[in-house]
Amino acid sequence: MNDRNLLKGLWLALIALVFGLGSLNYPVGRLERAGPGFFPLLVSCILMLLAVSMIVRSRFTEKVPVVFNYKNLAVILASLAAFALVSRWVNMTLGIVVLVFVSSIAASTHSWKRNFAVAAVLLGIAFVFVKGLGLQLPLY
Amino acid sequence: MDILHNLAFGFEHALTYQNLMFCAIGCVVGTLVGLLPGLGPLATISLLLPLTFSIPTTGALIMLAGIYYGAQYGDSVSAITMKIPHASSIVACIDGYQMTLKGKTGLALFTAGVSSFIGGTVAIVVLAALAPALGEVALLFGPADYTALMLFGFVCVSFVTTGSLLDGLAMCMVGVLLGQIGTDINSGMQRYTMGLSILVDGVGLISVALGCFGIAEITKNLDNREERTPFSGKIHLIPTWPEFKRIIPSALRGSAVGSFLGILPGGGPVIAQFAAYAIDRKVSKYKDEIGHGAIEGVAGQAAADEAAARTSFIPLMSIGIPENAVMALMMGAFIIKGIQPGPNMIASHPDLFWGLVASMWIGNCFLLILNVPMVRYLLSIFKIPYAVLFPSILFFCCIGTYSVNSNLDDVFITASFGLAGYIFLRLSLDPAPLMLGFILGPMLEENFRRSLLLSRGSFDIFVKRPISGTLLGLIALFVIWQLWVFLRSTRRKGPEPKPRASAA
């Protein structure tokens, strides 16, 4: 089962299925006046066709195992979510600090001092963006 | 002498203090970010795109163009000094790194810089001469022709960037489907929004780009956990006269090849540098040395790289169809700035078009006088450990995503594309065609539906019109050829992994 070529086809087939089933909720219309559901249905069908031929092709090619590192992915996504939530509940200054600290879990070495230094520099950059480039960031 | 007149007009717009400054900032920042491993032009542009929102239109586009070719130069610097390949600098790793091993880093960097300058200059002449003319041809295109042209672009890009027609086309289709999210322009109906108000206007370009190219790349790099030792050798930049003379012919050949390949659909820097390198190996006076650190091996491909990067603007600005993923991103930037690239762009915004063309040449000069001598300082970016670098890149992703709509919900969208992008990368599906499909998706649907409306529901219109008929015929030939290659490889040698082009 751990075969990159097979998983590739299955993953794309899943995407095609989600969008294809979704498109059935919208009127398809007729060819001369296509409705909003027509084009997504057509493209999903093409994608499904491509995905199925990938699955077929994987039967003829050698298996390639997939490396999937859940930990790093989870840490990075969690740090983004934490940034968004903390920025909304408190302010973006704390959000940036949280982003640096949560994401650094994925680093190979850990250091509180380094994290504080990085956060401080990034806050400085954010401040320059607000004052210099006129970006609207809710820093405080 | 229209061209000279127009170029002079362009320089008038590009040579203001403000625009000069934007151009310089773009070049330097682009080079700096482009140096970093794993961050090629696509990631660099998407990271820095949000920062240009508050800058006036012409300045913003000049800066983005600067970021683009700056990033390309940065790529080749890291390829020459440390053999870190990016999509746009695989060839530079061969002879460039060999020269570094021989202690001729400075010469290689100088050669790359000067050749880029030559390539860029040639390409700008081509661009100035060809873009307006091609724009007039584009006015003949009907909706069916546009539909066929976009499909043709998908096929070419899929083949060139991923080496596998099937994988690339599938990624284009995923991109098209993602482009369907949001409000349908014809009926006003909301599609795939799942009742979320942030999705009513569709998924943001920045979210897709930062997710797939920024966050996914960072996560993948973290998995590899390689520590790079920064380059510490000496750099002597100034070459001797005989060395300098060897640069010119190769660079000119590379410029010609690059300018031509840059215009074709699916073309661009990646394929141009391979072609230029191959030609130099055939015809160069020093062809025996190529592969072992010859000046020609660096000069030809660097010139082609740069020339193709410039001329790939031609289809975007004259026809309105981007031919590769970087140009798709550029098109997104144009549209965010309220400018629709296409046949009417040159006529309605001449200051912008000619200003951009002129600024490209100025940017070339900046690369030469600013970046080439500063290389050794720029390289110190490698002294920053990755543990410091990746939180900073995440910070730029967050700030960039947020500042598009001043909405924190967009960060969640970016994060979900980071997840999807990581899965794509791990399954060795290249997200570059996805970007192209995403940008072209709404245009494709619009033109497809309009063609069917014109033909009253008959598919004849795609075959009967000469332009679209020819393009569709080419696509059919291509698909049949690919099927034949696949069948032959499985039948002859039995089950075996499909050979992948090294351009992937």
Residues in B touching A103 (Cβ below 8 Å): 390-391, 394
Residue range of the domain that includes B147 = 2-183+191-227+235-493
* B503, B90 Cβ separation under 8 angstroms: yes
* φ, ψ dihedrals at B267, nearest 5°: -75, -160
User: Is the Cβ of A15 closer than 8 Å to some Cβ of chain B?
Assistant: yes
Instruction: Find tokens 């497809």 and name the residue.
Output: B448
Q: Which residues of A touch B447 (CB under 8 A)?
A: none
Higher pLDDT, B395 or A29: B395
Model pLDDT, residue B238: 74
In chain B, which residues have their Cβ closer than 8 Å to the Cβ of A32?
A: 452-453, 455-457
* Bridge partners of residue A34, in order along the sequence: A29
CB pairs under 8 A between A and B: 190
Whether B504 maps to a domain, the answer reads: no
Is the CB of residue A93 less than 8 Å away from at least one CB of chain B? no
**Within-domain flag for B502:** no
Residue B501 lies in a domain: no
DSSP letter for each residue of B81-114? HH----GGGTTHHHHHHHHHHTT-HHHHHHHHHH
CB contact under 8 A, B423 and A35: no
| Mean pLDDT on A49-75 | 86
Looking at residue B416, what is its pLDDT? 93
Instruction: Report ipTM for this prediction.
Output: 0.93
Amino acid code (one letter) for A101: F
Q: pTM for the complete prediction?
A: 0.86
Q: What is the spatial distance between Cα B212 and Cα B214, in angstroms, rounded to a whole number?
A: 6
- The answer as to whether B83 is a domain residue is yes
Interface test with chain A among B29, B47, B394, by most A beta carbons within 10 Å = B394
Q: How far away is chain B from the Cα of A124, in angstroms, using its nearest Cα?
A: 12
Q: Which residues of A touch B194 (CB under 8 A)?
A: none
The C-alpha atoms of residue A93 and residue B333 are separated, in whole angstroms, by 28
Q: Tokens standing for A68?
A: 């999937």
- Whether B422 and B216 have beta carbons less than 8 Å apart is answered as yes
Contacts B55 to A, Cβ<8 Å: 133
On average, the pLDDT of chain A sits at: 88
Instruction: Provide block-wise average pLDDT over 10 residues at a time, chain B (504 residues).
Output: 78 84 88 78 84 83 87 82 71 80 82 88 88 82 88 84 81 92 84 83 86 86 68 70 82 89 78 82 77 81 87 86 86 86 83 86 84 76 80 89 86 93 89 89 89 85 88 90 82 51 38
CB A136 within 8 A of CB B403: yes
pLDDT tens, position by position, A71-92: 889 999 999 999 999 999 988 9
* B503 lies in some domain: no
Residue B1 is predicted with a pLDDT of: 58
In a domain, B216, yes or no: yes
B223 touches chain A (CB under 8 A): yes
B230-269 b/e with 16+ CB inside 10 Å = b?
A: ebeeebeeebeeeeeebbebbbbbbbbbbbbbbbbbbbbb
Domain count, chain B: 1
Residue A16 token pair: 């095609």
Restricting to A residues 30-49, those with a Cβ less than 8 Å away from any Cβ of B are 30-40, 43-44, 46-47
- Whether residue B462 lies inside any domain: the answer is yes
| B332: in domain | yes
Element spanning A67, H or E = none
